[in-house]
Amino acid sequence: MKIAIVALSFLGLVYCKKADVEPENNTPVLRSDAPSLLSTTTFNVSPATNFNSTFWSNVQTALASGPVDVIFANGTYTRTATLTLSNIGDDANLLTLKTASVPGGAVFNGSIAKLMNVNLCKNVKLQGLKFTGAATGYALTIVRSQDIAVEECIFTDLPDVGYGALGVHYETTNRVLVRNNTFARVGYDSHAHMIYGAYGIQRLSVVGNSFTDCSGSFVRFRGNLSSKGVVYDNDFTSTGTYLTGINPVFIEIPVFNDVDPGDERMGTQFMITKNTFTYATAGSQATRYAVVFHHTGFNPPDRTHLISAADAATLNSGTVTQKRTIMSAQLGLDGNEIHFGGNTNSNVQYNVLYRCWNGYGSSGPWAGIASIGTAVNASGLATTELAAINYYP
């Protein structure tokens, strides 16, 4: 949403009001389609601002009257404690946290576990912020929140994060849009990801982003039926020069069942199209996979992730019907609901795989990879950004 403002003063901070501007016809919104007669309240902040409970209470109060912009002056916001938004938001009026001028002008860093956390919030947009430096867990997390957008943000040079540049977590998290952001050089081992979606999230849409070099799989949708994921019009690049020359999986849908029986199940509804997947010829060439459905550990009660060698052979070389039968009956994957096609590949070895590993004491009859690319659905793909974002209503 594009918003214009004029200046007033309030509570020692600067805020502004002017009529909200209608979004462009081709610009998707979350819950921000407030009538144009509403005014926008603006809080101008700086690295010296105390983001305490009083500050966020004032923001929440202003949201009752109309949209709110929190505008971060250019500068470095070195955090010694996580900047947390909790129980913030309004069903009708959008809260936007954005940089004052060019994307990346407001820089968040700090040697702490997490730089920013959006918890139990709704109808919030983060725009143009930069996250970098020595955070050890995540740069930004979105937890138990709905209708959240992260747009034109920069997540670069985060070598110490152990989990992700952006984490999107838990069952009640729904309708998160990650659009037109830049991710580069993230993590130090296979546990770190650029976007780590996990534990039952729904409708995470990854649209129009640039991803370059990650220590683990670039985008992950993990466990507990994390599903209805959209990955549209992104550039994925692994240069083969990061760390020890790794080329990790680009998109991973994994489960890790460390108890017997297992308690995680793979999500099955995804739409992945119009992306560019590029692996370098430098570095390791062992895992040049665009999309992987992955299992480690024990079987869930109603599924057989630990398939036989014969079933693995069928997944690799059987007919579409044979492959889909095993996928549905044993893995819980509906090939018709996995939409994949229209992507551009460079040096990609496999488009879509099932991968199985033993772990946590499990002892399955087979471990390895099986190609299921011919058993997914290459039709019904979104052809515009708006259609992609609204793919799962």
Average pLDDT of 128-137? 98
Predicted pLDDT of residue 30: 59
pLDDT per residue as tens digits for the range 167-200: 999 999 999 999 999 999 999 999 999 999 999 9
The pLDDT of residue 90 is above 50: yes
Beta-bridge mates of residue 196: 167, 220
Alpha helix locations (H) across 28-108? 53-63
Q: Residue 17, Cα to own-chain centre: how many angstroms?
A: 33
Average pLDDT of the residues in 235-244: 98
Task: Write the pLDDT tens digit of every residue in 12-50.
Answer: 233 332 222 223 333 344 554 444 467 899 999 999 999
pLDDT of residue 37: 60
**Average pLDDT for 367-383:** 98
What is the identity of the amino acid at 135?
A
- The answer to whether 1 touches 30, Cβ cutoff 8 Å, is no
Residue whose C-alpha is closest to residue 215's, from 180, 177, 242, 234:
242
pLDDT beyond 90 at 376: yes
Tell me the two tokens of residue 56: 């966020």
Distance, in Å, from the CA atom of 65 to the CA atom of 224, rounded to the nearest integer, reads 38
Mean pLDDT of 128-153: 98
In 3D, which of 311, 313, 306 has the Cα closest to residue 358? 306
Task: Give pLDDT, residue 23.
Answer: 33
Q: Across the chain, which distance is largest between two alpha carbons, in Å?
A: 72
3-state DSSP call for residue 268? coil
Give the pLDDT mean for 57-75: 98
Average pLDDT over residues 193-211: 98
Q: What percent of the chain has pLDDT over 70?
A: 91
- What is the structure's pLDDT at 28? 41
Pair 85, 53: CB distance under 8 Å: no
Mean pLDDT of the chain: 92
Residues 6+ apart with CB under 8 A from 95: 59, 63, 67, 68, 70, 88, 89, 121, 123, 124, 125
If we measure between CA atoms, which residue out of 296, 292, 300 comes closest to residue 370? 292
Calculate the alpha carbon distances from 40 to 53, 103, 142, 234, 336 in Å: 21, 21, 24, 32, 45
Coil, helix or strand at residue 46: coil
Query: CA dihedral defined by 324, 327, 329, 332, rounded to 10 degrees?
Result: -130
Task: Label residue 224 by pLDDT band (50, 70, 90).
Answer: confident
Q: Pairing state of beta strands 7-10 and 13-16?
A: antiparallel
Lowest mean pLDDT among 5-9, 120-124, 170-174, 375-379: 5-9
- Given a cut of 60, whether residue 10 has pLDDT beyond it is no
pTM of the model: 0.91
Confidence at 157, pLDDT banded by 50, 70, 90: very high
pLDDT score at 330 = 97
Confidence at 4, pLDDT banded by 50, 70, 90: very low
Q: Is the pLDDT of residue 349 over 90?
A: yes
Q: What is the pLDDT of residues 298-336, one digit of tens each?
A: 999 999 999 999 999 999 999 999 999 999 999 999 999
Q: Among residues 383, 306, 370, 308, which one has the least CA distance to residue 341?
A: 383
Residue 372 has pLDDT above 50, yes or no: yes
With a CB cutoff of 8 Å and minimum separation 6, the contacts of 317 are none
> Which helix (H) or strand (E) covers residue 18, if one does?
none
Query: Residue 248: its pLDDT value, please?
Result: 98
Of residues 347 and 8, more confidently modeled: 347
